[in-house]
Amino acid sequence: MLTLRPLQLPTTQPQPHASSLRLHLQTPRVWLFGNIASSSSIGTVTITPAGVRSHTGGVTPSAIGTYNNAIYTATGEPNATYSITLPASVTISSGSNNMTVNNFTSDPTPTGLLSGAGSQTINVGATLNVGASQATGNYSGTYDVTIAYN
Protein backbone atom coordinates (compact mmCIF):
# COMPACT_ATOMS: atom_id res chain seq x y z
CA MET A 1 0.00 0.00 0.00
CA LEU A 2 1.38 3.40 -0.96
CA THR A 3 0.52 6.25 1.33
CA LEU A 4 0.76 9.60 -0.38
CA ARG A 5 1.23 12.64 1.77
CA PRO A 6 -0.11 15.95 0.52
CA LEU A 7 1.80 17.75 -2.16
CA GLN A 8 2.99 20.78 -0.28
CA LEU A 9 2.09 24.03 -1.92
CA PRO A 10 4.74 26.70 -1.53
CA THR A 11 3.91 30.18 -0.41
CA THR A 12 3.48 32.11 -3.62
CA GLN A 13 4.69 35.67 -3.74
CA PRO A 14 2.10 38.21 -4.86
CA GLN A 15 2.49 39.19 -8.50
CA PRO A 16 2.57 42.96 -9.08
CA HIS A 17 0.21 44.54 -11.59
CA ALA A 18 1.38 47.37 -13.81
CA SER A 19 -0.21 49.83 -11.38
CA SER A 20 1.36 48.06 -8.36
CA LEU A 21 -1.86 46.31 -7.35
CA ARG A 22 -1.28 43.05 -5.51
CA LEU A 23 -2.65 39.66 -6.46
CA HIS A 24 -2.39 37.01 -3.72
CA LEU A 25 -2.68 33.23 -3.81
CA GLN A 26 -3.58 31.30 -0.66
CA THR A 27 -3.89 27.54 -0.16
CA PRO A 28 -6.83 26.59 2.03
CA ARG A 29 -6.61 22.87 1.13
CA VAL A 30 -3.60 20.79 0.12
CA TRP A 31 -3.63 17.98 -2.39
CA LEU A 32 -4.05 14.28 -1.51
CA PHE A 33 -4.01 11.37 -3.97
CA GLY A 34 -4.96 9.02 -1.11
CA ASN A 35 -3.79 5.50 -0.37
CA ILE A 36 -3.17 3.33 -3.42
CA ALA A 37 -1.87 -0.17 -4.13
CA SER A 38 0.48 -0.81 -7.05
CA SER A 39 0.91 -4.05 -8.98
CA SER A 40 3.39 -5.45 -11.49
CA SER A 41 1.88 -3.09 -14.11
CA ILE A 42 2.24 0.68 -14.38
CA GLY A 43 -0.83 2.82 -13.78
CA THR A 44 -2.15 6.26 -13.02
CA VAL A 45 -4.37 7.98 -10.48
CA THR A 46 -6.07 11.17 -11.63
CA ILE A 47 -7.85 13.72 -9.50
CA THR A 48 -9.87 16.27 -11.47
CA PRO A 49 -10.21 19.91 -10.45
CA ALA A 50 -13.67 18.91 -9.15
CA GLY A 51 -12.05 16.33 -6.83
CA VAL A 52 -13.13 13.18 -8.70
CA ARG A 53 -10.55 10.36 -8.48
CA SER A 54 -10.07 7.74 -11.22
CA HIS A 55 -7.38 5.19 -12.03
CA THR A 56 -5.93 3.21 -14.92
CA GLY A 57 -3.63 0.23 -15.33
CA GLY A 58 -2.17 -1.64 -12.38
CA VAL A 59 -3.22 0.79 -9.65
CA THR A 60 -5.99 0.24 -7.13
CA PRO A 61 -7.06 3.19 -4.97
CA SER A 62 -7.98 2.24 -1.41
CA ALA A 63 -11.31 3.18 0.10
CA ILE A 64 -9.34 3.87 3.28
CA GLY A 65 -7.82 7.32 3.57
CA THR A 66 -8.58 10.73 2.19
CA TYR A 67 -8.08 12.12 -1.30
CA ASN A 68 -8.90 15.53 -2.72
CA ASN A 69 -7.95 18.15 -5.25
CA ALA A 70 -5.94 21.23 -4.29
CA ILE A 71 -7.83 24.45 -3.69
CA TYR A 72 -6.39 27.94 -3.87
CA THR A 73 -8.01 31.29 -3.25
CA ALA A 74 -6.90 34.18 -5.46
CA THR A 75 -7.51 37.67 -4.08
CA GLY A 76 -6.83 41.04 -5.61
CA GLU A 77 -8.44 43.89 -7.53
CA PRO A 78 -12.22 43.36 -7.91
CA ASN A 79 -13.36 42.24 -11.38
CA ALA A 80 -9.76 41.83 -12.64
CA THR A 81 -8.71 38.99 -14.90
CA TYR A 82 -5.56 36.99 -14.25
CA SER A 83 -3.61 34.13 -15.81
CA ILE A 84 -2.95 30.79 -14.11
CA THR A 85 0.29 28.93 -14.84
CA LEU A 86 0.64 25.32 -13.71
CA PRO A 87 3.74 23.11 -13.88
CA ALA A 88 4.26 20.62 -16.70
CA SER A 89 5.30 17.95 -14.20
CA VAL A 90 6.80 17.49 -10.73
CA THR A 91 8.51 14.64 -8.92
CA ILE A 92 7.30 13.39 -5.58
CA SER A 93 9.55 11.25 -3.40
CA SER A 94 9.68 8.82 -0.51
CA GLY A 95 13.33 8.38 0.34
CA SER A 96 15.05 7.41 -2.92
CA ASN A 97 11.79 6.33 -4.60
CA ASN A 98 10.05 8.72 -6.99
CA MET A 99 6.83 9.20 -8.94
CA THR A 100 5.85 11.87 -11.44
CA VAL A 101 2.77 14.06 -11.26
CA ASN A 102 1.74 15.68 -14.57
CA ASN A 103 -1.24 16.75 -16.69
CA PHE A 104 -2.08 19.56 -14.28
CA THR A 105 -5.46 21.17 -14.90
CA SER A 106 -7.36 23.94 -13.18
CA ASP A 107 -10.83 25.40 -12.97
CA PRO A 108 -10.86 28.14 -14.05
CA THR A 109 -8.26 27.75 -16.80
CA PRO A 110 -6.16 29.41 -18.16
CA THR A 111 -7.67 32.73 -17.10
CA GLY A 112 -9.56 33.60 -13.94
CA LEU A 113 -11.86 36.50 -13.12
CA LEU A 114 -11.92 37.91 -9.60
CA SER A 115 -15.38 38.60 -8.22
CA GLY A 116 -16.74 42.02 -7.34
CA ALA A 117 -15.35 41.34 -3.86
CA GLY A 118 -11.91 40.59 -5.36
CA SER A 119 -11.62 36.82 -4.91
CA GLN A 120 -11.98 33.53 -6.76
CA THR A 121 -11.47 29.86 -5.91
CA ILE A 122 -9.06 27.91 -8.12
CA ASN A 123 -9.41 24.11 -8.12
CA VAL A 124 -6.41 22.10 -9.36
CA GLY A 125 -6.21 18.48 -10.49
CA ALA A 126 -3.44 16.29 -11.96
CA THR A 127 -2.33 12.75 -12.75
CA LEU A 128 -0.02 10.63 -10.59
CA ASN A 129 2.08 8.13 -12.58
CA VAL A 130 2.68 4.96 -10.55
CA GLY A 131 5.47 2.59 -11.56
CA ALA A 132 5.20 -1.18 -11.76
CA SER A 133 5.67 -2.57 -8.25
CA GLN A 134 6.10 1.00 -6.95
CA ALA A 135 7.82 1.00 -3.57
CA THR A 136 5.63 1.56 -0.53
CA GLY A 137 6.14 4.87 1.23
CA ASN A 138 4.87 8.29 2.19
CA TYR A 139 5.46 10.30 -0.98
CA SER A 140 5.50 14.09 -0.95
CA GLY A 141 6.77 16.98 -3.00
CA THR A 142 6.21 20.60 -3.93
CA TYR A 143 5.01 22.46 -6.98
CA ASP A 144 4.43 26.06 -8.00
CA VAL A 145 1.26 27.69 -9.21
CA THR A 146 1.69 31.22 -10.54
CA ILE A 147 -1.02 33.81 -11.03
CA ALA A 148 -0.54 37.22 -12.64
CA TYR A 149 -2.84 40.02 -13.70
CA ASN A 150 -3.58 40.19 -17.42
Domains of the chain: 2-149 (2.60.40)
What dihedral angle (degrees, nearest 10) is formed by the CA atoms of 13, 16, 22, 26?
-30
Average pLDDT over residues 13-26: 57
Residue 21 pLDDT: 60
**0.95 exceeded by pTM:** no
Position 63, amino acid: A
pLDDT tens readout for residues 133-146: 999 999 988 888 88
Residue 15 pLDDT: 43
Average pLDDT for the chain: 85
Distance CA 3, CA 145 (A): 24
Between the CA of residue 104 and those of 5, 95, 126, what are the distances in Å?
A: 18, 24, 4
Residue 19 pLDDT: 41
Residue 5 pLDDT: 42
* Residue 4: partners with Cβ closer than 8 Å, 6 or more residues away: 32, 33, 34, 35, 36, 92, 128, 138, 139, 140
Q: What is the DSSP letter of 110?
A: S
pLDDT tens readout for residues 29-80: 788 899 999 999 999 999 999 999 999 999 999 888 889 999 999 999 999 9
pLDDT tens readout for residues 78-126: 999 999 999 999 999 999 999 999 999 999 999 999 999 999 999 999 9
